[in-house]
């Protein structure tokens, strides 16, 4: 969690300066929001993964296979990701609907703003591609390496399976800092932990995470007008 806090603070401090610079070029347009989301994500994930691999390789002297980055078990893991990914998304979507009735979306959430502009046709094709890359490739790969590959085994070494999965899910949901999205993200985090627990390979949880983000983009960006 110290690694995550350092990465989070670094990304947010840099984002303050980047937001000012982007606004001077693009105003408060969706282009500025997408670029800010991409750049801040790159900074966050660079520091996050740097700390993760330093801890795994240098501090503990472990191979990267210890955090699920391996070929063995890929087929089984992918079957979990594809097989459980859609039901997990539907369950999270249902929880999200309930949450939206109880809580309001965070007004300053950049992803919500971008999806609203995407639905209204206010995003150029390059920005759509960049948004999809950020949310469907960059976020699933980097977040799964940290949360499921690194944090979950650290919890699992000290706790039984269920408490470790629940704590991991709660932390995963909490760090996104969006009240209305807490319950669906907690369910997602729990399901992704379950996939990893069954295969000890990250490919399934990465695919499941990418499916979740991708389907949200399609539904809220293109189907809901």
Reading the chain (225 residues) residue by residue, the pLDDT tens digits are 889 999 999 988 888 888 788 877 776 677 888 888 899 999 999 999 999 999 999 999 999 999 999 999 999 999 999 999 999 999 999 998 888 888 765 544 556 656 655 555 566 788 889 989 999 999 999 999 999 999 999 999 999 999 999 999 999 999 998 888 899 999 999 999 999 999 999 999 999 999 999 998 888 766 554
In which domain, by residue range, is 142 found? 73-223
Whether residue 184 lies inside any domain: the answer is yes
- DSSP class of 106: P
Whether residue 15 lies inside any domain: the answer is no
Helix (H) or strand (E) holding 196: helix 182-199
- Cα-flanking dihedrals φ and ψ of residue 126, to 5°? -60, -35
Whether residue 106 lies inside any domain: the answer is yes
Whether residue 121 lies inside any domain: the answer is yes
User: Considering the entire predicted model, what is its pTM?
Assistant: 0.90
Whether residue 158 lies inside any domain: the answer is yes
Whether residue 143 lies inside any domain: the answer is yes
Q: How many domains would you assign to the chain?
A: 1
Whether residue 193 lies inside any domain: the answer is yes
Whether residue 45 lies inside any domain: the answer is no
């Amino acid at each position: 969690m110290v690694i995550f806090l350092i990465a989070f603070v670094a990304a947010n401090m840099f984002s303050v300066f980047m937001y000012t610079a982007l606004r001077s070029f693009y105003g408060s347009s969706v282009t500025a929001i997408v670029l800010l989301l991409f750049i801040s994500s790159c900074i966050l994930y660079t520091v996050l993964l740097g700390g993760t691999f330093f801890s795994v390789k240098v501090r503990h002297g472990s191979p990267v296979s210890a955090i699920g980055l391996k070929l063995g078990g890929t087929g089984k893991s992918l079957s979990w990701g594809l097989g459980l990914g859609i039901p997990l998304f539907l369950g999270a979507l249902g929880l999200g609907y309930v949450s939206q009735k109880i809580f309001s979306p965070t007004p300053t959430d950049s992803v919500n703003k971008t999806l609203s502009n995407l639905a209204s046709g206010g995003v150029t094709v390059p920005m759509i591609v960049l948004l999809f890359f950020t949310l469907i490739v960059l976020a699933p790969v980097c977040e799964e390496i940290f949360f499921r590959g690194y944090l979950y085994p650290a919890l699992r070494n000290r706790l039984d399976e269920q408490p470790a999965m629940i704590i991991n899910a709660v932390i995963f949901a909490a760090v996104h800092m969006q009240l209305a999205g807490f319950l669906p993200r907690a369910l997602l985090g729990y399901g992704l932990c379950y996939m990893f627990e069954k295969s000890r390979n990250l490919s399934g949880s990465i695919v499941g995470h990418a499916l979740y983000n991708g389907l949200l983009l399609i539904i809220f960006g293109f189907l809901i007008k």
